[in-house]
Amino acid sequence: MLYSGGAWTTIARICPGPSQNGVTSLFVSADSRTVFLECFRPAVASTDPDARGGFVYDRVTKQARAVAGVTAYGIGPLSPDGRSIVLAERGDCPMPAPVCQTKRSLLDLSTGQEQELLPSDYWLSTEFRWTDLGLVYFRPECADAGCTSAANAGTFLFAAGKWTKFAQDRLVTSRGATYHVLERRRAISAGERNPSKIRDLTITATGRAERVLTPSSVDREFVVGLAGDGSLVAWRPDDPVTPFQGSVVIYRGGSETRSSRGRFSTFLASGSHDVFVGVELSGAPSPTILAYSVINDAFSRMAPPFALSTLVVIPK
């Protein structure tokens, strides 16, 4: 479904079988042409309960093709050029551990070739993202099942076929190879109660310069994204109990330039230059979409007339 001009339009129906075979993940390339989506059920009946349906859809040719190897252990993100995607698979299951390990690989969507990214281990709450530096993963120090060492936690950058630690904090977004925005947080979970501070990092030929942007009086603040004018958009919730009420804060040049009270969410957050959206878990039949416009300094909300599982903002 595409929302444009005040209305929802069905672009394509790709997930096979009955209507309840919904989309569980959705990713779009940087040029908005290539879409990768994951369906709850695979295209061909499988005896593997973890099998899921993976499809690449071309918005120009209107053609979709199935991609094998997608499982319930996770998929994404899609590379900016739309040619490869990170794939999570089941790893070893050493007993008597209560859960199995997982592993990660980079799947070439044209050839089906896989390149190992992370070997089998307990990568609980580990997240991947593509930045201007390339592919990175962040492993929090603590997850639902326990904590790892500080040395194993942090943001790691994939380059020349190996991982190198980039920062102890969570790298969220970058502008070019020099400017980066990070979150200082120990864990990632819904209703996270640990402190979260935002800092930025500038890397030049003469060294690294960093500064903490979040005031000492603020306990929690989260990165929303970078606006088209280069300013940083952040969300400062009132408290963990009511995470959808608070203030959108604009930073420019390391200083807070605007703070606007309203309702927003960093859950399933996405944005493009000016408009940023998130999802509020408001119940059936669908969660509520919360949006904020940087240019208009305005909040808005919408309850789509269908079940919503994922959300992506694409440039016009």
What is the tens place of the pLDDT at every residue in 28-66? 999 999 999 999 988 887 888 889 999 999 999 999 999
- pLDDT band per the 50, 70, 90 thresholds, residue 19: confident
pTM higher than 0.85 for the full model?
yes
Per-residue pLDDT band for 285 (boundaries 50, 70, 90) equals low
What's CA 253's distance to the chain center, in Å? 25
pLDDT at 45: 79
Q: Is 206 left (phi over 0), alpha (psi -120 to 50) or beta?
A: alpha
CA angle 145, 200, 263 (to 5 degrees): 70
Do the Cβ atoms of 55 and 67 come closer than 8 Å? yes
Q: Would you place residue 244 in the very low, low, confident or very high pLDDT band (cuts 50, 70, 90)?
A: very high
Rounded distance between C-alpha atoms, residue 290 and residue 298, angstroms: 11
What pLDDT shows up at residue 147?
A: 86
Least confident of 23-27, 61-65, 158-162, 193-197: 193-197
Q: Decide if pLDDT at 72 tops 80.
A: yes
Percentage of the chain modeled with pLDDT above 70: 98
pLDDT higher at 306 or 103: 103
Distance CA 29, CA 78 (A): 7
